[in-house]
Structure 1
């Protein structure tokens, strides 16, 4: 005769706490949040799509970025720039067909905003493709043996190089011996005339 072992189920309060933690982790997950927004904004163009499938695609793209590949980011920025260009063209054409100043100004302002965002997107893409090079001077000070390889030395004609002027030469040797710039005077006798000594001061 076999006996079945019954496993004790967790209390109701413990189950609720575990479910709440799982729900909170799901709601704060970056891929799930992005998938929820994509589902709402893309439903009219692509129809209803499962949230799990979209979240899996977002997490796949995120993993590629973590591995160091930015090809997906570059493609996304280029696509956004092209979309913003189309928005600029559409809003500009609508502005040109308006008869009243208020509507004309509104459409034209939106068109210029789309153009500005397109330019900023292309600048970001250019920065990712060609990051700026920074030349910095480094002072390496160590108390013990040290080997430092700072890489290539920047060109000597860069603006970061400081211009040094030649030091001023002092005309005087020191502060205690100033130069005599007065007009030379006529020579005079070395000893002035002296009076004879009194009798009291003479020798015996």
Structure 2
């Protein structure tokens, strides 16, 4: 920490001075047994708040890190996660808005750099990065809008029975064979006379004459005496 920070420590809004020595050790809950204490520490190391803590403090400014209390930062990150679990999205909305503002600032900076570049290649690179920042800013604002006003999804209702069958509401398409059978039945009902004409069509065959001849021969072979 620089000499200026020692002489003029940062004072919070409530007027209370910050602690002279911030805690730097990562604190873990003690368990009922040594094994449980070791397990609690292992869970803390792989926890989401610890992962965020490692990224935040990796390349942070030295004067900020000197006054940063490690357990308090982890507790603050844990509180944000608990708020999300309870449905409170205020922190997420503020985060997205601040990111969009930072991306807008980056877009302006890169645009100025590109316009002031003397070489075409430098100008093209800076303007291309500026447009990427502008695209990310737009996507961030769009995400924020979806959180504030979730889109309404209209889905077609479906009645699903137990098994692989599924019945969708609407006009079902009849199978081809069934549709043709119904069409043939309806056609026969509408035109009965055509069916009768088709069944009676044609000239008498020669078989009819043969049967008439057989009837004429019946009296010749009739028995002479009748049985009593």
Structure 1 or 2, whichever has the larger Rg, is 2
DSSP-derived class of the 1:65 partner: helix
What root-mean-square deviation, in Å, do the aligned CA atoms of Structure 1 and Structure 2 show? 4.2
How do 1:18-167 and structure 2 match up within 5 A? 21-43=39-61, 46-48=64-66, 49-136=68-155, 137-139=157-159
Structure 2 portions without partners, runs of 5+: 1-32, 163-168, 174-178
Change beyond 3 A, Cα 1:24–1:178: farther
Higher helix share: 2
| Number of aligned positions between the proteins | 168
Structure 1 outlier segments of 4+, above 4 Å: 17-20, 161-165, 177-182, 194-204
1:173 aligns with 2:204: no
Q: Which residue of 2 aligns with 1:7?
A: none
Q: Distance in 2 between matches of 1:44 and 1:162?
A: 67
Deviations 1:36-78 (A, max 9, x none): 2112243258453222221121111111111111111111111
> What is the SS of the residue equivalent to 2:118?
coil
Taking structure 2 as the reference length, the TM-score comes to 0.56
Describe the superposition over 1:15-52 as per-residue Cα deviations: whole angstroms up to 9, x where unpaired.
6x777545422321211221221122432584532222
How far apart, in 2, do the equivalents of 1:45 and 1:162 lie? 68
Stretches of structure 1 that go unaligned for 5 or more consecutive residues are 1-13, 143-160
- How far does residue 178 in structure 1 lie from its aligned partner after superposition? 9.7
Matched residues in 1 for 2:151 and 2:193: separation? 56
Q: Secondary structure at the match of 1:139?
A: strand
When normalised by structure 1's length, the TM-score is: 0.61
